[in-house]
Amino acid sequence: MNAPPAEPPVREPANLWRRLAAMIYDAIAVFGLLCLAAAFPMAVHRAAIPAGNACYQAYLLFVAYAYFAVCWHRGGQTVGMRPWRVRVVSADGRAVVSWLQTLVRFLVALLPLVAFAAVGQWSLHAGIGTAAFGSLGYLWSWWDPARRAWHDTASRTALVHEPKRR
């Protein structure tokens, strides 16, 4: 007779401080990756590419997405998440995050940055207001019973704290 499938282990949600620390580490990693990615087309064309070039911006955005998507899908952790023992899992208990979940997670997390960049050009006050509003998506994890930020909820994922390995 077949035994019923085992329940997935209950994992502790990652707190906001671990999230922020992992984000800082990832910002450094993504900055380095984008510097390398930016150098490639310049080397091919042997000229500087205007920063306002839409194709160039889309290329850099894709490189950033590819970093996060591959890390989240393959192992649930980015370089910045590993030292803080934070992992992205599907909210339904599956360890593997789907490609669609990675896309939704990335785009929803990116919305405040896009809004800040767009509105920040108009005035400092508007930019500060937009940044404050964008922070609410992350701060929401303090009030959410499952400790999920807006991009976690939208993508049906969760950030969990991995226990120390013995």
By the 8 A CB rule, do 64 and 38 touch? Answer: no
Instruction: Report pLDDT digits (tens) over 132-161.
Output: 766 777 778 888 888 898 899 999 999 999
Instruction: Report pLDDT digits (tens) over 86-138.
Output: 999 999 877 789 999 999 999 999 887 777 666 656 666 666 666 676 677 77
Q: What are phi and psi of 98, to 5 degrees?
A: -75, 165
- For CA atoms 55, 37, 69, 135, the dihedral sign is negative
Query: What Å distances lie between residue 120 and 109, 115, 135, CA to CA?
Result: 18, 8, 15
Whether the pLDDT of residue 32 is over 80: the answer is: yes
Q: What is the residue extent of each domain of the chain?
A: 13-161
What is this structure's pTM? 0.82
Mean pLDDT across 61-86? 96
Query: What Å distances lie between residue 82 and 21, 34, 72, 75, 87, CA to CA?
Result: 11, 20, 12, 10, 8
